[in-house]
């Protein structure tokens, strides 16, 4: 009961899915692997690329700020060099306010004698992290995460030295020793960059130290990061939508295929339509067409098995009935001649049943044996010559002359030699049965490059045009009048065609090409690649 309900649910879901199946345009030509990778890589690639872009962007901003800070320090040092002390203090305050910097002057002995923060109200101050709001703490956490991802160099913290002399500033010591400006980057308590520039002032050993809190760089980087976040969110939304689209392109066809497979298994409908999805060239399309072809092949095989079983029952029933009648009559007959006749009939029926069973067994396992066999290169001309010679030695040609003609090019095919030998044997048996004793049997082998053709022609009564397909049906047997009944099972040509088709070839019946009376059976096989 539960299984039946589940099957109905699957069928209903499949019907719903099939009703919603629509042909795909450009996406139908992309493999599922490509679509899945694109959907998953898009936001990750955007995020990763954006992070490295932000690091490059911050580095460019700092580089430009280094150049600007050096120029500012050098210009300020030149302005201070020729001014009086009073003018120098005024310049320190004015430049500090206008440029939002802290400027400090040190004399030749390295003592601090002027500080713009001490001379006037400071134009800026470092933010205290303890007083930050949640948004600021979150932004700093993102800054640290970005630095960890890109492997940014650790920046030393900005700490005011306890002693006001040059000993607390390495950049001042280098500038005094080398007479050149020196830049040093540090990090404020809130994570923003602090740029210190030490530059010599005049020729008396004085030194200028400028300090700028470049918080605008942090703000620009965070603004770019916010833009990146919005882009990532848009990409994530697009990825979700694409994932839903991808699920539609996968789930709906699979549901339809599952529903069709369930209906085929249950056998509710004789002709279950399995969707082939011809507009899709991806894996789902290949699967749909493979399942459709498999279903068609399965139906064909089931039909063949049913027909074969019915034919077998019918063909065996006749000799069994004859055998039963002979055996039941035998005890009642006292005439020795009649008893011998009944015994002969019983023996004939036993041989006929044995022949039928053997032929039926071979017909049923032809394809299976070929699928498991090792294929080899076979020269069809040499194979036919060997078969004809062997038949002559066993007197199976019944004194018929068999003429073999072949093209100069070697007719090589790929297949199972024993099975192809059986095809040739069956064709020759058929020709020998119908051909007059004085008329030759012609075997012509032709190599057209792509296909190898083997034609067996006789001078018998021929095959009517409307019966040229019937001769390949199982148990269809039209034998010469002089031949004893029951000597052939009617499976010879059917087995030969099965072997030909298992080798990707064909076996057909035609009229003779020269217009003379007789049958012409033509075997075509793919030529072996050189």
pLDDT digit string, tens, across residues 106-148: 998 889 989 999 999 999 888 877 776 777 777 778 777 777 7
Q: Which of 110-114, 192-196, 341-345 has the lowest mean pLDDT?
A: 341-345
Whether the pLDDT of residue 477 is over 70: the answer is: no
Task: Report the top-level CATH class of 45-225.
Answer: alpha beta
pLDDT above 80 (res 505): yes
Name the residue with higher pLDDT: 429 or 131: 429
pLDDT in tens, 329-338: 878 777 888 8
What is the pLDDT at residue 37?
67
The hierarchical CATH code for the domain 282-371 is: 1.10.287.130
- Taking residues 441-454, report their average pLDDT: 88
Give the model's pLDDT for residue 31.
61
Instruction: For residues 197 and 70, give the distance between their C-alpha atoms in angstroms, rounded to a whole number.
Output: 6
Say what the pLDDT of residue 408 is. Answer: 61
What is the structure's pLDDT at 513?
81
Greatest mean pLDDT among 11-15, 53-57, 247-251, 502-506 lies in 502-506
**What architecture is domain 373-530?**
2-Layer Sandwich (3.30)
Determine which of 129-133, 399-403, 422-426, 457-461 has the lowest per-residue pLDDT on average.
129-133
DSSP string, 269-304: -SS------TT--SHHHHHHHHHHHHHHHHHHHHHH
The whole-number pLDDT of residue 361 equals: 65
What is the chain's percent helix, strand, coil content, to nearest 5? 60, 15, 25
Q: Are 486 and 475 in contact (CB under 8 A)?
A: no
Q: Is the pLDDT of residue 478 over 60?
A: no
Q: Report how far residue 19's alpha carbon sits from residue 25's, in angstroms, rounded to the nearest whole number.
A: 18
Nearest-angstrom CA–CA distance, 402 and 385: 10
The DSSP symbol for 439 reads S
The residue to which tokens 């050096």 are assigned: 70
Is residue 64 left, alpha or beta, with left meaning phi > 0 and alpha meaning psi from -120 to 50?
alpha
Q: What pLDDT was estimated at residue 297? A: 75
Q: What mean pLDDT, rounded, does the chain reach? A: 79
Are 260 and 22 in contact, with CB atoms under 8 Å apart? no
pLDDT at 485 over 70: no
Question: What percentage of the chain reaches a pLDDT higher than 90?
Answer: 14
pLDDT at 15: 47
Provide mean pLDDT across the span 185-194: 89
The pLDDT, as a whole number, for residue 17 is 41
Say whether pLDDT at 4 is over 50.
no
According to the model, what pLDDT value does residue 12 have? 43
Residue 521: pLDDT over 60: yes
pLDDT in tens, 8-45: 444 444 444 444 444 444 444 556 566 666 667 767 77
Comparing 197 with 481, the larger pLDDT belongs to: 197
Express each pLDDT in 269-316 by its tens digit. 556 677 777 777 777 778 888 888 887 777 777 776 676 666 666 667
Top-confidence residue, 312 or 228: 228
pLDDT tier at 267, thresholds 50, 70, 90? low
Give the domain ranges of the chain.
45-225, 282-371, 373-530
């Amino acid at each position: 009961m539960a299984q039946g309900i589940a099957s109905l649910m699957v069928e209903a879901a499949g019907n719903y899915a099939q009703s919603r199946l629509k042909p795909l345009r450009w996406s139908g030509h992309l493999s599922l692997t490509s679509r899945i990778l694109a959907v998953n890589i898009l936001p990750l690639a955007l995020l990763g690329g954006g992070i490295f872009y932000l690091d490059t962007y911050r580095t460019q901003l700092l580089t430009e700020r280094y150049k600007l800070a050096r120029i500012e320090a050098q210009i300020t040092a030149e302005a201070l060099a020729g001014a009086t002390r009073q003018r120098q203090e005024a310049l320190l305050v004015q430049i500090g306010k206008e440029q939002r910097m802290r400027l400090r002057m040190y004399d030749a002995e390295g003592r601090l004698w002027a500080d713009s923060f001490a001379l006037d109200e400071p134009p800026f101050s470092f933010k205290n992290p303890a007083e930050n709001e949640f948004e600021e703490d979150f932004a700093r956490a993102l800054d640290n995460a970005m630095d960890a991802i890109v492997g940014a160099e650790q920046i030393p913290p900005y700490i005011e030295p306890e002693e006001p002399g040059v000993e607390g500033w390495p950049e001042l010591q280098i500038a005094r020793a080398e007479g050149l400006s020196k830049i040093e980057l540090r990090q404020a308590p809130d994570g923003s960059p602090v740029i210190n520039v030490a530059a010599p002032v005049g020729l008396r050993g004085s030194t200028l130290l400028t300090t700028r809190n470049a918080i605008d760089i942090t703000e620009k980087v965070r603004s770019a990061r916010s833009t990146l976040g919005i882009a990532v969110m848009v990409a994530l939304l697009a990825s979700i939508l694409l994932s839903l689209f991808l699920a539609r392109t996968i789930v709906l066809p699979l549901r339809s295929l599952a529903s069709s497979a369930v209906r085929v298994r249950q056998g509710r409908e004789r002709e279950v339509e399995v969707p082939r999805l011809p507009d899709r060239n991806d894996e789902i399309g290949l699967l749909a067409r493979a399942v459709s072809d498999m279903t068609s092949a399965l139906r064909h095989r089931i039909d063949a098995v049913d027909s074969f079983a019915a034919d077998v029952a019918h063909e065996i029933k006749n000799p069994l009935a004859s055998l039963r009648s002979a055996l039941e009559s035998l005890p009642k007959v006292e005439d020795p001649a009649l008893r011998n006749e009944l015994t002969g009939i019983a023996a004939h029926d036993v041989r006929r049943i044995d022949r039928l069973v053997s032929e039926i067994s071979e017909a049923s396992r032809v394809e299976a044996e070929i699928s498991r066999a090792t294929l080899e290169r076979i020269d069809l001309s040499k194979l036919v010559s060997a078969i004809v010679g062997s038949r002559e030695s066993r007197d199976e040609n019944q004194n018929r002359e068999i003429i073999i003609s072949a093209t100069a090019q070697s007719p090589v095919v790929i297949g199972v030699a024993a099975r192809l030998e059986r095809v040739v044997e069956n064709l020759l048996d058929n020709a020998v049965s119908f051909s007059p004793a004085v008329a030759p049997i012609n075997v012509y082998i032709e190599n057209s490059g792509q296909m190898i053709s083997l034609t067996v022609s006789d001078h018998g009564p021929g095959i009517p045009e409307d019966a040229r397909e019937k001769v390949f049906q199982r148990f269809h047997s039209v034998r010469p009048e002089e031949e004893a009944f029951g000597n052939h099972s009617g499976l010879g040509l059917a087995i030969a065609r099965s072997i030909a088709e298992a080798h990707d070839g064909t076996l057909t019946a035609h009229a003779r090409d020269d217009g003379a009376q007789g049958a012409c059976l033509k075997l075509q096989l793919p030529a072996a690649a050189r």
